[in-house]
Amino acid sequence: MARTFFVGGNFKLNGSKTSIKEIVDRLNTASIPENVEVVICPPATYLDYTVSLVQKKQVSVGAQNTYVKASGAYTGENSVEQLKDVGAKWVILGHSERREYFKEDDKFVAEKTKFALDNGLGVILCIGETLEEKKAGVTLDVVKRQLDAVIAEVKDWTNVVIAYEPIWAIGSGLAATPEDAQEIHASIRKYLASKLGDKVAEETRILYGGSANGKNAVTFKDKADVDGFLVGGASLKPEFVDIINSRN
């Protein structure tokens, strides 16, 4: 079974009602293939507003973070139920910026992933290595360690999409070559097969998340294990539509 091409847009801490309306209007009027799934992830303050604007059935809305509790005295957090209540279908977890700036370790990311899945959100699970780790030749060790934490918690991977994001390529202008990405994605899939079985490995989508843009996205087109992209800054720009259409 062919895996549905998936393009996520992580707006990060960017956006206003005006700019988000421009982005969604562009998607609403763009020609988007039927066989693609697009998930845009604005800041939490704009989730409800973004959901109200989306008209294309191929486009849904996700959050950038969530917590491991349903409710309670957790100032500043957003619960899974609240995200679902405003129409979010997905959440990004394990992003390198959460790991680095907010000190979220593998175990905490795994706990959040399990909680989100158990309570009805799809998860875009981010994994990836730093430049130092890449230079040391331990990329696969790092991504296996990050995956192992989640594998220990999550048995049903139906609603998990993995985003391999080489941290050294985010916002740096650097990017893995399509061949590099394919090699690492294939290794990730092989590792999933060894831990979770061939069926899960074959069905799980693995996205490339390292500075994909309108120009380079098409160069990944024939890479069998690159099932889409998690896009940062380019998701705020008109070229996001080019990335969405890069398989056609």
**pLDDT at position 243 over 90:** yes
185 is an active site residue: no
Q: In this predicted model, what pLDDT tens digit does every residue of 108-120 receive, in sequence order?
A: 999 999 999 999 9
**pLDDT at position 172 over 90:** no
CATH number for the domain harbouring residue 17: 3.20.20.70
Q: Would you state the pLDDT for residue 167?
A: 85
Average pLDDT of every residue of the chain: 95
Q: How far apart are CA 116 and CA 95, in angstroms?
A: 15
| Domain count of the fold of the chain | 1
Do 234 and 240 touch, CB atoms closer than 8 A? yes
For residues 14-35, average pLDDT: 97
Q: In this predicted model, what pLDDT tens digit does every residue of 209-220 receive, in sequence order?
A: 987 899 999 999
The pLDDT confidence band at residue 173, using thresholds 50, 70 and 90, is: low
Q: Would you state the pLDDT for residue 47?
A: 98
The residue that leads in pLDDT, 2 or 36, is 36
List the domain range (segments joined by +) for residue 212.
5-244
Q: How far apart are CA 99 and CA 170, in angstroms?
A: 14
22 is an active site residue: no
| Catalytic-role residue among 37, 95, 97, 185 | 95
Q: How far apart are CA 48 and CA 142, in angstroms?
A: 36
| Catalytic-role residue among 37, 104, 129, 165 | 165
